[in-house]
Amino acid sequence: MNGCRIVIFSIVQLAVVVVADDPPGHMQHIGSHMPPMPIEERDDFPNPIEFYDKYIAPAKPVVFKGVAKKFPNFNNLRNDSYLRELYGDATFSIEPLKEEVIIKQPIPMKMSEFLSVYEKEDVYIMELIDEIPFADEVFVPKPLLCESFFKLLNMVAMWFSSGGSNSLLHNDSVENLNCLYDGRKDLLLIDPKYEDSLSLLHVLPNEISNISSLDVEKVDMYKYGNLSTIPWYGATIEAGDCFYMPIRWFHQLKGLKGRNFAINFWFDPVNHQTFHKDCINTFFPEYETLPHYRKNPAMSLEK
């Protein structure tokens, strides 16, 4: 019996030694290799000039806490009955919740059908908002209410799922302002100055994003050892928060289980000279509807 105990103890002791020798964060979620650095938080929207000078120009991420609660439809978009009544017959693009490097063709589905299955099936809506009726639900936040941003607005998208999503690590060739109406997300950001150290990205055919092939849930630190020395920024985004991710910053979003709804705005890089010329001496409200903003990006904002 004592001999068996010695063998068992030796096996356990060996296992502990092997685990202890693994690199920090090995086979754990991305970011587990070291604590995050904080992202600046503020409880108000800056005007477009301050937004550019303090965040876009220096490429500095920021979280605007609770600001989306000011939008008139904040509670409506948190209500499935409201969406079913107004948009039940509208068709949206449905994709599998588990993201892959090879992007699959979205499946069209009516909102009413999606609302019946999204809590049980591995699907989510990612829909570019253009002329579909849902454009009336989008409120453009104060930081983007300037003709310069209107000229640069690339895409507006809606994201809707039952949560539990885990995006791949990627970066975009556009600026990004995202507003979360429902749910919670853990945000991980990596400065693009570490791009050469990552050496693990694949370029998609559309060239909008670079997407990593690494498993963000179980990072192989032997294969991707350079990650162990790369610092990262982190924040928990809650319902009502908006956050800015600068162009080319690598990011990964982990959604907590539960209803998740967001609107995000992608816009092209800003030119300093034309930006200040377009935005100076102008009154900016807290928000503007997307259709009105598209029709009158500057005139509607005059005092």
Q: List the chain domain ranges.
A: 2-301
Query: In CATH, what number does 2-301 get?
Result: 2.60.120.650
Residue 110 to residue 93: CA distance in whole angstroms: 9
Query: According to the per-residue pLDDT averaged within each range, which of 2-6, 150-154, 240-244, 282-286 is highest?
Result: 240-244
**Would you state the structure tokens that stand for residue 267, as one six-digit string?**
């816009």
CB 175 within 8 A of CB 267: yes
Whether the per-residue pLDDT at 14 is higher than 50: the answer is: no
Q: Residue 232: how many CB atoms within 10 A of its CB?
A: 21
Residue 105 to residue 236: CA distance in whole angstroms: 30
Quick: pLDDT tens for 95-128: 887 666 555 688 999 999 999 999 999 899 999 9
CB 234 within 8 A of CB 161: no
Residue 105 to residue 95: CA distance in whole angstroms: 8
Considering the entire predicted model, what is its pTM?
0.88
Per-residue burial over 47-64, b = 16 or more CB atoms within 10 Å of its CB, e = otherwise? ebbebbeebbeebebbbb
Q: How many residues does the chain have?
A: 303
| Neighbouring residues of 48: CB distance < 8 A, sequence distance ≥ 6 | 142, 143, 144, 145, 146, 148, 149, 275, 279, 284
Quick: pLDDT tens for 56-72: 999 999 999 999 999 99
The average pLDDT across 271-277 equals 75
Quick: pLDDT tens for 242-257: 999 999 999 999 999 9
Residue 19 confidence (pLDDT): 54
Question: Closest Cα to residue 101, out of 197, 217, 210, 6?
Answer: 210
Burial class (CB in 10 A: 0-12, 13-18, 19+), 135: middle
Torsion sign (Cα): 67, 90, 104, 120: positive
| Neighbouring residues of 101: CB distance < 8 A, sequence distance ≥ 6 | 168, 202, 211, 212, 213
Residue 218 confidence (pLDDT): 94
Q: Which phi and psi (to 5°) does residue 42 adopt?
A: -145, 155
Place of tokens 């690199």: 23
Question: Closest Cα to residue 227, out of 25, 19, 18, 61?
Answer: 25
Percent of the chain past pLDDT 70, that is, above it, reads 84
